[in-house]
Amino acid sequence: MSITTPNTPRSDLMTFTLPLTALLAAMFGFVGGNMIGHPWYGALIGAVIGAAVAFIVENNLSRRTAVRWGLIGAFAVAGFVFGNLGTAISGAIVGAVLGWAGYWLATGKYRAGVPVYYTAGQTLWHNAFLLICGFIFFFLIAPLFPVMWLSFNAQDFFTFTPEMLNFQAEGYSLKHYRDFLGTDEWMVPLKNSLIIAPIATVISVSLGTLAAVGLSQSHVPGRRAMMAILISPMIVPLIISATGMFFFYAPLGNWLEATLGLSQTFVGFVKVILAHAVLGIPFVIITVTATLVGFDNSLTRAAASMGSAPLPTFFKVQMPLIMPGVISGALFAFITSFDEVVVVLFVGSAQQQTLPWQMFTGLREQISPTILAAATVLVVMSILLLTTVELLRRRSERLRGLSPA
């Protein structure tokens, strides 16, 4: 059969496939048994089932699809008989994993990704490495899923109700999304965040890029000291920056209100935007400086030799080449402002309440799943935003004839 790698011997059932499949099934059995209070009995039963699966797989190597679907079905039915819809779905997943692992081991597919000369130990390490990477991704991403799941809770608590676990319709509800999208309590902070973050980003990107370009010139005196000062908002503990900013911006705001007659709300926005711009500047400086390292200065000299003034040279020659750094700096600056809760609590007043502020107070005072709905919406928005930026970047690289990185 084509599945078997020709230059490896077929896996041996008794010394290889069967023990490993049994071990995997025993782990599932341990987890399942733990839920009813008998983890070791569960592991034992799991091992027996795993051995049986390995035996079935070994004798049906050519009927891969049919056997795998059969296993999924059998485990799902078993789960449903012993429990409910929730355990049936868990059963189907266990069946799918066991079936896949059985064939993966029995057909020698586990060697598919490694060169033929690898020893058993190297192959083991290769697959262990893949497993570790998988776990890293899992632990980074997995905490988001309960948040998303719970945001559809029909109750006002962070609790998986029996109805939710049994996938019954009455356990689920969109009411927290209604609360999020339909009330001023959440929409006003969202609007404030969407006013503050983009303006602060524009300011940090303009100032940060200018500073990075200037500081990358070797003739600037004291550039290390200047760099250190500009980066400091990133290093100084936020609570200290926030306290300092509070006392710095309060008289500034009073002056703006008293002398220029600006409204309190408007001045409040100015204060928060400036404070957030300061927090965003270090990110822009770092990313733009990093791209400037790879920038060939003879290009600006070439432009100058052809009579281009410095400003057009900057925008037409230098800017397009350092654009990736500027964009990633802008993304960081935006996220810094959009996520920021400490400084806005100090500098802002209630008219500038941002989304993180609302989430913070909501979490402390009411623990309502509306926060989870808000978090879910934000996660989806961030994914869409990053995907769009990445797609645009690839498109522009394609258009400019550069191969995608």
Partner 1 sequence: MKLTKTLLATTALGLSAASVMADGHMSSDMTLVSWGGAYQASQSAAYSDPYVAMNEGVTVTWDESSAEAVAKLRAMNEAGSITWDVVDVVAADALRLCDEGLALEIDADEQLAPAPDGTSAEDDFGDLLVGDCFIPQIVYSTTFGYRTDLVPEGVDAPDDICDVFDLETYPGMRALEKRPINNVEWALLCDGVAKEDVYDVLSTEEGQEQALAKLDTIRDSVIWWSAGADTPQLLADGEVFMGSTYNGRLFAAIEEQDQPIGMMWDAQVFDLDGWIIPAGLSPEREARALDFVYFATDTQRLADQAKYISYGPARMSSAPLVGQHETLGIDMAPHMPTDPNNAANTFLYNYEFWADYRDDIDAKFQAWLAQ
- Stretch (H or E) spanning 56: helix 39-59
If the CB atoms of residues 69 and 157 are measured against partner 1, the closer one turns out to be 157
> Total residues contacting partner 1 (rule CB under 8 A)?
32
Counting contacts by CB under 8 A, is residue 311 touching partner 1? no
Counting contacts by CB under 8 A, is residue 253 touching partner 1? yes
8 A C-beta contact, residue 158 and residue 164: no
Q: Which whole-number Å values give the CA distances from 130 to 14, 49, 120, in the listed order?
A: 25, 26, 16
Q: How far is the CB of 177 from partner 1 (least distance, A)?
A: 18
Of 170, 192, 193, 189, the C-alpha closest to 181 is 189
Counting contacts by CB under 8 A, is residue 168 touching partner 1? no
d(C-alpha 395, C-alpha 378), whole Å: 25
Between vectors from CA 238 to CA 233 and to CA 243, what angle results, nearest 5°?
100
Candidates 29, 102, 268, 329; binder of partner 1 (CB under 8 A) is 268
Contacts with 79 (C-beta within 8 Å, 6 or more apart), sequence order: 87, 88, 89, 90, 91, 92, 94
Counting contacts by CB under 8 A, is residue 315 touching partner 1? no
Counting contacts by CB under 8 A, is residue 262 touching partner 1? yes
Q: How far is the CB of 217 from partner 1 (least distance, A)?
A: 25
If the CB atoms of residues 33 and 268 are measured against partner 1, the closer one turns out to be 268
Counting Cβ atoms within 10 Å, is residue 214 exposed (0-12), middle (13-18) or buried (19+)?
exposed
Counting contacts by CB under 8 A, is residue 240 touching partner 1? no
Contacts with 343 (C-beta within 8 Å, 6 or more apart), sequence order: 238, 241, 242, 245, 272, 275, 276, 279
DSSP 196-244: HHHHHHHHHHHHHHHHHHHHTSTT-TTHHHHHHHHHHHHHS-HHHHHHH
Counting contacts by CB under 8 A, is residue 254 touching partner 1? yes
Counting contacts by CB under 8 A, is residue 314 touching partner 1? no
Counting contacts by CB under 8 A, is residue 379 touching partner 1? no
Stretch that binds partner 1, among 23-31, 300-308, 342-350, 383-391 (CB under 8 A): 342-350
Residue 147 backbone class (left: φ over 0; alpha: ψ -120 to 50; beta: rest): alpha
If the CB atoms of residues 367 and 379 are measured against partner 1, the closer one turns out to be 367
Q: How far is the CB of 373 from partner 1 (least distance, A)?
A: 16
Q: How far is the CB of 156 from partner 1 (least distance, A)?
A: 5
Candidates 353, 354, 370, 376; binder of partner 1 (CB under 8 A) is 353
Helices 319-339 and 370-399, packing angle to 10 deg: 180
8 A C-beta contact, residue 337 and residue 197: yes
Token pair, residue 60, equals: 């049906």
If the CB atoms of residues 229 and 239 are measured against partner 1, the closer one turns out to be 239
Stretch that binds partner 1, among 48-56, 275-283, 320-328, 345-353 (CB under 8 A): 345-353
Candidates 6, 143, 251, 294; binder of partner 1 (CB under 8 A) is 251
Counting contacts by CB under 8 A, is residue 260 touching partner 1? yes
Candidates 129, 135, 138, 157; binder of partner 1 (CB under 8 A) is 157
Candidates 263, 382, 387, 388; binder of partner 1 (CB under 8 A) is 263
Token pair, residue 212, equals: 């990075």
Stretch that binds partner 1, among 81-89, 124-132, 149-157, 315-323 (CB under 8 A): 149-157
Counting contacts by CB under 8 A, is residue 296 touching partner 1? no
Contacts with 7 (C-beta within 8 Å, 6 or more apart), sequence order: 116
Counting contacts by CB under 8 A, is residue 362 touching partner 1? yes
Counting contacts by CB under 8 A, is residue 178 touching partner 1? no
User: Between residue 63 and residue 102, which ones bind partner 1 under the rule CB under 8 A?
Assistant: none
Binding site for partner 1 (CB under 8 A): 155-159, 246-247, 250-251, 253-254, 260-268, 346, 349-351, 353, 361-362, 364-368
